[in-house]
A and B are shown apart, each in its own frame.
Chain A
Amino acid sequence: MPIVPLSRIADARSGDKGEGSNVGVMARSEAAYVFLKGALAPEVVRRHMAAINRGGVKRYEADALRVLNFLLADSLGGGGSASQRTDAQGKTHGLALLRLELNVPQSVLDATPE
């Protein structure tokens, strides 16, 4: 199976939520969504973002929207004005997750626009 970054088959946007952030992953095809529901477990996201997020990762599934929504519990270095990080609001966390390299079946790639 080809190894590609998540960005090949999905979009993402992130923002702050309290002391953490959310990353909404938007699959660009039904095939990509079905694949990601299996491949993009919360633990996979937690490991990929471990240097950014010190807390756990919770996942919500929105089948009708082909969206997986991840809540990173402690990813801002303190919430609100306590964060001194450059990315104090988690604006770049979506792009960070899109860098994740995955083994994606060719059939999913074929069914998903670049």
Chain B
Amino acid sequence: MDTMEREVNSAALVACIQKKPRADASFILDVSVEAPPGITILFGPSGAGKSTLLDCLSGLVRPDAGKIVVGESVLFDSALRIDIPPQKRGIAYVFQSLALFPHLSVEQNIEYGLRDIPDQDRRRRIEEILQAFGVENLRQRKPAQISGGERQRTALARSLVTEPSLLLLDEPLTGLDAELKAAIVEDLRAWNVAKCIPILYVTHSREEVDALGDRVIAIDNGRVLSHGAPMEVLDAPRRKRLAQAAGFENLLDATVVDLREQDGVMRLRLGEGACEIEVPLAHAAAGDHVQVAIRAGDILLASERPRGLSARNVIEGRMTSLEQRGTICVAGVDCGVMFVVHVTPGAVRTLELATGKPVWLVLKTHSCHLVD
């Protein structure tokens, strides 16, 4: 994949956009994004500005200032007063609502963007895309007569058949079960092996990031927080809202006690001095107030004080709640500060865990992430 991407890197999206959507609101979108061919995920909580960004890229909304370039073509440049209208940008955009035309059949929907193409070529492209997205048996049906997954496939097919230079997807797979989602994403990936265009995929679902993730751009409150591989961006969140969105169940207030630079760690006192833990060294000074994010699934739970561990953080506490949710058990543990811990139902049985029992939490130093 990497070599292929490098060959056609000239087709990348490079954009920098400033936009104040409503005159009265304080929200301002101010971002620079780059997306090489392949799937780039735009991740962030709702209201972060993801959809506004896509609207600007597609030309449906005019940025206040900035520049949008796909490959060689300049689609928008406020300095040069270039603003190509949406119908001439060659960008495909699949909305969350899909916006299939209700009065047209699946085939007519797919044909919609191919008006100016010679008959023969058009037929060939329609047949190809109908097959690639597995909707060839539905061609005569209206959108109201097909299932949710079929509608999503049709919407993708309708956008991609126009052979766009950039594909924008605004949570197009919301509401589908994981299996169906994976199948559609597979079709999308297969299609893009040949076309190799940048795809910007908006989501606020952590699972979709893990399933799709080549690259992630994390965005919140109109700003790009960080970008890179999903692991780097989401496993070490630097902002609180991003930490919550990325599924860090434990967000704890802490005070820096001291820095141990030679060990690459520092000690934090949690809450009102209930307990101390060791976390990776960060740019901070003793006495600073910080927040630390820990995934509930990254915490080990023991029914006796563990010994002989490499983990530096062993905290004693008492289990205050235990609740099974699907295949995981969610435990609340009071260690002076409250922790949420995920354990398997099997572990609950083996360790005979129950509310009121004393337990020990084990945290690896590098499972503790400092957030700004």
Binding between chains A and B = no
